[in-house]
Amino acid sequence: REPDLRILVSAAREIAKRLRPGHLVVLESTTYPGTTREQVLPVLEAGSGLTAGKDFHLAFSPERVDPGRDDWTTKTVPKVVGGIDQASTDAAAAFYATAIDTVHKVSSPEAAELTKLLENIFRSVNIALVNELAQLCDRMGIDVWEVVEAAATKPFGFMSFKPGPGLGGHCIPIDPFYLTWKAREYGFYTEFIELAGKVNESMPWFCRSVVSQALNHSLQLSLKGSRILVLGVAYKPNIADTRESPAVKLIGLLRAAGADVSYHDPHVPSFRENGVTMSSSPLDPGSYDCVVVVTDHSGIDYDRLVEDSKLVVDLRNATGANGKGSDKVWKL
């Protein structure tokens, strides 16, 4: 959970060799507050013999990308920019304004760096909240999906987040802990971030227990020896990225419990993550004791899936109302 800046520093050294007066350097990689000024700036100055703010401009502008979306593009998502001085901020803003509709200036690279972390921490904490609620609802016999849907009808003061088998991708599971690490330098403990991480990281274990209960109560089968098809291994719908995917973690847990696990993902023909190497199997739900919906890709006919399966554990509410009314479907 400690930042590894070796690649960043190496890149800065290479840039420094080519840096010339009047150039603009912008860091976009998500990182802790202070990285641009404390790490990148001295490397650029030492390698170039130039002075930041006097001979060249330096700024931070966080990447804001949501893979798989087409309603918000690089052009339409506002760009946050913070330079080491006003001239650097203005130069970076002018550069991005040539291609992006809205540029929002902040007072420093530290403010821009923390802006990106806040965005990711906000998601992590709120997802952890509904994940914890999902575990409580399981004990109370309440449908967490119904509760979240009902709460979302409030037109103010509520933002809907959905529970799931855990966090994935290269941002949300990792970035918040950059701030946790940096906060220790100031004698501060980021309790919300740590607690959210604990809850979210525990979800694959909880989901394994749901699969075990479903097999036991519905088919009188134990997890050991059962044939299980994991549906979806990408970390989010309709993409091919498996980095930090909770599906990969869940597959490992199911295998460790003795299950015979296969997966189907129309976007991921094969993967190798966390010591697990697998290839996608045909979608033949009737050949398995249980199908576990981990990633709700839009190209799947979930009504047909329920019809053809012996048992479905739906961790994403992909089966919707039809799944709720079926004895064959267990939901998170």
Q: In a 10 Å sphere around its CB, with 0-12 CB exposed, 13-18 middle and 19+ buried, how is residue 75 labelled?
A: exposed
Question: Which residue, 81, 31, 75, is CA-closest to 58?
Answer: 81
pLDDT in tens, the chain (332 residues): 689 999 999 999 999 999 999 999 999 999 999 999 999 999 999 999 999 999 999 999 999 988 888 899 999 999 999 999 999 999 999 999 999 999 999 999 999 999 999 999 999 999 999 999 999 999 999 999 999 999 999 999 999 999 999 999 888 899 999 999 999 999 999 999 999 999 999 999 999 999 999 999 999 999 999 999 999 999 999 999 999 999 999 999 999 999 999 999 999 999 998 888 999 999 999 999 999 999 999 999 999 999 999 999 999 999 998 888 899 999 99
What 299-307 contacts at long range (C-beta under 8 Å, 24+ apart), as own/partner pairs, is 299/238, 299/266, 300/231, 300/266, 305/231
Would you state the pLDDT for residue 253? 97
> Catalytic residue numbers?
171
Question: Tokens representing 89?
Answer: 């901020």
Q: Are strands 24-27 and 103-105 parallel, antiparallel or unpaired?
A: unpaired
In contact, 315 and 332? CB cutoff 8 Å: yes
Distance (Å, whole) CA 66 – CA 77: 10
> Domains in the chain, please, with CATH?
6-107 (3.40.50.720), 127-331 (3.40.50.720)
| Pick from 202, 198, 224: nearest CA to 211 | 224
Strands (E) across the chain are located at 24-27, 57-60, 79-83, 103-105, 227-231, 260-264, 270-273, 276-279, 290-293, 312-314, 329-331
Res 68: pLDDT = 81
pLDDT for 21 equals: 98
- Give the whole-angstrom CA distance, residue 303 versus residue 298: 12
Instruction: Report the predicted TM-score, pTM, of the whole model to 2 decimal places.
Output: 0.93
For tokens 């800065």, name the residue. 12
